[in-house]
């Protein structure tokens, strides 16, 4: 009875706050510095496609991270305009499960010029720290934010969103999975500053 009460309480809280309360249950661990090998290994563990995983350069890391939940995603149209699928910024990512499979190239969506996909894309790097090649043309761009430490959420959120995008026959959706773990290839001094900022928050 006590266990059932805890599950009901936590489920209600999750729906209300969109934050993972049962961190241990979801396999969430203390974040650590990752590299290409460790990220690919963990991505494979959760059944994630490893061909479209990228990272962010250290200079832009904190600005991207600011206010960002995990996992989450942003959707852009073919012009790079951000599609506002949430009714407000505090809404959680649950709407993605319905929004992604219903994306249609013939539908007009409410968009914003900021953030712009192509400007954001210039900040992305491969897992070795190299700039990415030019993005493929598509009707929509889906950028999924994930980290290794969110554990099972990668399997029941990140993987599901990507699968939904691949299964959508109404349009072409280019998927990028932007990893926001601290990267081993970053400048060591820059990494120290970032970790110091973490400890302040």
The string of pLDDT tens digits covering residues 63-85 is 888 777 889 999 999 999 999 98
Residue 195 confidence class, pLDDT cut points 50, 70, 90: confident
Domains of the chain, residue spans: 1-30, 31-200
pLDDT of residue 92: 75
CA separation for the pair 21, 136 (Å, rounded): 37
pTM: 0.84
pLDDT, tens only, 18-70: 444 444 555 555 668 999 999 999 999 999 999 999 999 999 998 888 777 88
Tokens of 86: 């949430």
Query: Among 12, 7, 62, 34, which residue's Cα sits nearest to residue 147?
Result: 34
pLDDT, tens only, 139-152: 999 999 999 988 89
């Amino acid at each position: 009875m006590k266990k059932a009460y805890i599950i009901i309480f936590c489920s209600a809280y999750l729906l209300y706050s969109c934050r993972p309360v049962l961190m241990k249950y979801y396999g969430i661990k203390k974040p650590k510095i990752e590299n290409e090998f460790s990220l690919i290994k963990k991505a494979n563990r959760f059944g994630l496609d490893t061909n479209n995983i990228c990272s962010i350069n250290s200079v832009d890391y904190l600005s991207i991270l600011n206010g960002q939940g995990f996992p989450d995603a942003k959707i852009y149209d073919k012009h790079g305009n951000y599609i506002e699928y949430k009714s407000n910024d505090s809404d959680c990512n649950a709407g993605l499960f319905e929004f992604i499979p219903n994306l249609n190239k013939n539908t007009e969506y409410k968009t914003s010029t900021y953030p712009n996909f192509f400007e954001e894309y210039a900040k992305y790097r491969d897992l070795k720290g190299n700039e990415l090649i030019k993005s493929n043309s598509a009707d929509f761009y889906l950028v999924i934010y994930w980290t290794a430490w969110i554990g099972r959420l990668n399997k029941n959120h990140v993987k599901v969103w990507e699968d939904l995008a691949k299964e959508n026959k109404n349009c072409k959706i280019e998927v990028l999975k932007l990893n926001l773990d601290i990267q081993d290839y970053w400048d060591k001094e820059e990494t120290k500053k970032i970790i110091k900022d973490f400890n302040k928050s």
